[in-house]
Amino acid sequence: MVKKVLVSMVILCANIYAQEPMLEKKIGPMLMVGFHGTHAPKESQICKDIKRYDLGGVILFDYNPVDKTKPKNIASKQQLTHLTQELQACSRDGKLLIAVDQEGGRVQRLKSTYGFYGQFPQASQITKMDKEAIFQTYTHMGKELQSVGINYNLAPVVDLDINARNHVIHGLGRSFGKDPKTVASYARVFMKAMRDNHILTSIKHFPGHGSSVGDTHKGFVDVTKLYQESEMEPYRLLKKDADTVMVAHVFNRNFDAEYPASLSQKTITGVLRSELGYEGVVITDDLQMGAISQKYGLRNTLKLAINAGDDILLVGNQLDPQQVVSVKTLVDTIASLVKSGEVKMQSIEASNRRINVLKQKL
């Protein structure tokens, strides 16, 4: 009897041990992380993380918050091309998502300082051009991204320009305008130009950041009294065209009286998926932004984000040098949530399926 019990315990322990790597490799694809380094040789931590966890993606930045005299990931065309090749070599299938924010205007990571074009106009200027010129402009952007191995552009912005006091959208000229149909029309041109050059895109920031006054980078932003229903219309119009949808950290009591959009099951699963009928990948805005980091701990943030219906969890490791989070910490935290039953395995597997479909487009 004792022997049987011991054998059963050994088998149970062996099964748990065998399941660990399997679980890790299902959590890994849900993560997109930022890292420090202009190269990614086999012995680098980021390469080891990509291999061990089958990491979903990385996000690249030019500005280095730790040492302003050095680049973070982007220094030149040649260097960036080599970096993306190294990163893909670390991946299982050569389909690692390598992302940047390349909208045009103030938001473009590939700057002329590093030998890139760097003069792509902001959305508010684009609308003054004819459609052919717009398509040529965004085609140029797509070709430049593709030439250095970028395959995922976290753009276009489809927020409506409806609040002149909004400095993060209106103030930076990041919106195509006030009319949802017009905004969706310009976004389609952007997305087609990217798609023609094998670049995935992400329409943002659901359910709308255009009416806000505050900046979610810095802290809690409540749009309850300012939000207009028309802000959701671009997502309704583009739901079949969008590769991914990025969810904002804005709080809107009309959607969810407790959580901001990025952590809200009512907003993502209830509105975006059930009401609007969007079936693709949902990616969070950077989970280290002030609106989230100042209010929720890491464990709670990850639990809420996955249970809300987010597929890709973005951790940029960009905003605060003191708050760099390792991939191991992220994976271990999510694994413990699965083991405790706070996150269902079905949610992880559903996200994996959607991410796999997305990567097939590459």
Distance between CA atoms of residues 266 and 121, nearest Å:
36
Phi, psi of 11 (to 5 degrees): -65, -45
Phi, psi of 282 (to 5 degrees): -110, 130
Nearest-CA neighbor of 148 among 217, 65, 60? 60
Distance between CA atoms of residues 105 and 122, nearest Å:
4
User: For the residues 75-91, what does the mean pLDDT come to?
Assistant: 98
Q: Rounded to whole angstroms, what are the CA distances from 79 to 42, 66, 69, 72, 102? A: 16, 20, 17, 12, 18
Per-residue pLDDT of 167-226, as tens digits, reads 999 999 999 999 999 999 999 999 999 999 999 999 999 999 999 987 778 888 899 999
User: For the residues 293-316, what does the mean pLDDT come to?
Assistant: 97
pLDDT of 324 reads 94
Q: Rounded to whole angstroms, what are the CA distances from 94 to 46, 86, 204, 212, 358? A: 15, 10, 26, 39, 14
Confidence of residue 322 (pLDDT cuts 50, 70, 90): confident
Minimum mean pLDDT among 4-13, 46-55, 119-128, 252-261: which range?
A: 4-13
User: For the residues 59-68, what does the mean pLDDT come to?
Assistant: 95
Extended beta strands in the chain, E state: 31-33, 57-59, 97-100, 102-104, 107-108, 152-153, 200-206, 244-247, 281-284, 313-315
Nearest-CA neighbor of 280 among 189, 185, 353, 191? 353
Instruction: Count other Cβ atoms within 10 Å, centred on residue 342.
Output: 16
- Please state which of the four CATH numbers 3.90.700.10, 3.40.50.720, 3.40.50.150, 3.20.20.300 is assigned to the domain occupying 2-360: 3.20.20.300
pLDDT of 104 reads 98
Confidence of residue 16 (pLDDT cuts 50, 70, 90): very low
Minimum mean pLDDT among 11-20, 150-159, 310-319, 352-361: which range?
A: 11-20
Query: Which DSSP letter does residue 120 get?
Result: P
Confidence of residue 349 (pLDDT cuts 50, 70, 90): very high
Q: What percent of the chain has pLDDT over 90?
A: 90
Q: Which tops the pLDDT comparison, 16 or 126?
A: 126
Is pLDDT at 58 greater than 50 in this prediction?
yes
Confidence of residue 325 (pLDDT cuts 50, 70, 90): very high
Distance between CA atoms of residues 308 and 266, nearest Å:
7
Q: What percent of the chain has pLDDT over 70?
A: 95
User: For the residues 327-353, what does the mean pLDDT come to?
Assistant: 98
Confidence of residue 255 (pLDDT cuts 50, 70, 90): very high
pLDDT of 71 reads 95
Is pLDDT at 17 greater than 60 in this prediction?
no
pLDDT of 1 reads 55
For all residues of the chain together, what is the average pLDDT?
A: 94
User: For the residues 18-44, what does the mean pLDDT come to?
Assistant: 93
pLDDT of 267 reads 98
Is pLDDT at 95 greater than 60 in this prediction?
yes
User: For the residues 11-23, what does the mean pLDDT come to?
Assistant: 57
User: For the residues 5-17, what does the mean pLDDT come to?
Assistant: 42
Is pLDDT at 113 greater than 60 in this prediction?
yes
User: Six-digit token pair at 353?
Assistant: 């399926």
298, 326 contact by CB (below 8 A): no
* Beta strands 107-108; 102-104: pairing state: antiparallel
pTM here? 0.94
50 contacts: CB under 8 Å, gap ≥ 6 = 58, 87, 90, 91, 96
Q: Rounded to whole angstroms, what are the CA distances from 59 to 4, 6, 241, 318? A: 51, 47, 23, 10
Nearest-CA neighbor of 156 among 223, 222, 206, 228? 206
Distance between CA atoms of residues 132 and 18, nearest Å:
56
Distance between CA atoms of residues 323 and 158, nearest Å:
30
Distance between CA atoms of residues 329 and 313, nearest Å:
13
pLDDT of 19 reads 65
Which amino acid is present at 150? I
* Residues in a beta bridge with 314: 32
At residue 99, the 3 state secondary structure works out as strand
